[in-house]
Amino acid sequence: MAAVPHELTINILCHLSVKDLLRFKCVSKPWCSSIDNPDFIKHHLSHSLKTNTNHSLLLRHCGYHFFSVNYDSLKTTQTLKFPLGEQKKTLRILGSCNGLLALENDNQRIFLWNPSTRKSQVLPSTEIGRAGFTCYGFGYDPISDDYKVVRMVQSDKDYSGHCRYGAEVYSLRSNCWRRIKDVCFYLQLNKRFGFLANNAIHWRGFKTPQSGKENLAGFDLASEEFRSVELPDFCLDEPFWLGIEAMGGYLCLSAVHSELGDIVADVWIMKEYGVKESWIKLISWNQPHYIPSVVEPLAFSKNGKKVLFNIGYKWFSFGERDKFVWYDVGSERVENVEIRGLPSKFDAHLYVESLVPLNSNAQQ
């Protein structure tokens, strides 16, 4: 019987889940070597991103309990064990990228964690002390093939009374922090964690303290330069909640507001990155239920016709449980998603399962 060509074997393996690949590493040394190969890891990740497969929802409950839900089925939750031991204090999710998560505990220690491989890493101490309000971001720089954590600490006011941010970047490849030039944007104090889109991390903020117009401060992970990204022009009569994130590779703005006595959730997406005129309103959804504090679009369905929303009752709960719903963009129909084992309150993040490794020379 003729041997299967190596290229065909690799192509077949690329279609498998991370869980299966970790099992198949035990088949033989050649298989283990192939699966651990950096080129294969990138190829498998690229295939998952292009085909929208091997994605899961990560849920955080009570600050330190983590669950995953397979995105293809959305049927049941699976408890995730944090590899650094049982946690009883809050773990904040600083960002997610290519299957890796950046987290911070109450002692300001930062971790990287791959829930799929169950590997984790403690980052070295930061260069800048905690002098004031701190913002974070996490992402991948394809130019240097490196994962980076961005940290910005609000400094004391200068002679003009304006605050600036000292900034530093952690490199997974070198496993160290380094200072970069200060930030010239004035960031939103209640939006500490940036979101990744177009190889840049974004935070809400203002160009000047006196500016009444909010923009996005985008940090390019390759050039390590900041740029301003304009938001769409809109006017909300009575806004209850406003969120900006990334969805399907696009910048996405969502808002819950009152309109002629109705509660409405609107969603805009930026079709062409950096072009203000390319913002379009994708969804305007009249809500028949209680006022939620979070109506967060998470992801498109595989055919792109539906959007999965996380509905969170953070302040106006009225006994309601957090939940997921599908919104059909064409028919405007809403469908509840029933998931077994779903906690009553949670925040949700979409991530792709991957074999992306951490720094083997760093502290585990």
CA distances from residue 118 to 99, 160, 340 in whole angstroms, order as listed = 11, 49, 23
Counted residue by residue, the chain has a size of 364
Report pLDDT for 4.
67
Report pLDDT for 312.
83
Tell me the three-class secondary structure of 222-282, residue by residue. Answer: CCCCEEEEECCCCCCCEEEEEEEEEECCEEEEEEEEEECCEEEEEEEEECCCCCHHHEEEE
Contact assessment for residue 13 and residue 34, using Cβ atoms and an 8 Å cutoff: yes
3 state SS of 283: strand
Say how far apart CA 339 and CA 66 lie, in whole Å: 15
- Say which residues have a Cβ less than 8 Å from residue 220's Cβ, sequence separation at least 6: 199, 200, 226, 227
Say how far apart CA 167 and CA 156 lie, in whole Å: 14
Full pLDDT tens readout for the chain, 364 residues: 456 677 888 888 899 999 999 999 988 888 899 999 999 999 999 999 999 999 999 999 887 889 999 998 999 999 998 766 666 778 889 999 999 999 998 888 899 999 999 999 999 988 887 666 788 999 999 999 999 999 988 765 555 555 667 889 999 999 999 999 877 777 765 567 899 999 999 988 777 666 667 788 899 999 999 888 988 887 665 667 788 899 988 999 998 887 777 788 899 999 999 999 999 999 988 875 556 567 889 999 988 899 999 988 766 556 678 899 999 999 999 999 999 999 988 989 999 999 999 975 555 5
Torsion of CA 184, 161, 195, 291, to 10 degrees: -150
Contact assessment for residue 90 and residue 64, using Cβ atoms and an 8 Å cutoff: yes
Report pLDDT for 114.
95
CA distances from residue 315 to 41, 294, 318, 343 in whole angstroms, order as listed = 42, 9, 9, 17
pTM listed for this prediction: 0.89
Say how far apart CA 221 and CA 203 lie, in whole Å: 14
Say how far apart CA 41 and CA 116 lie, in whole Å: 13
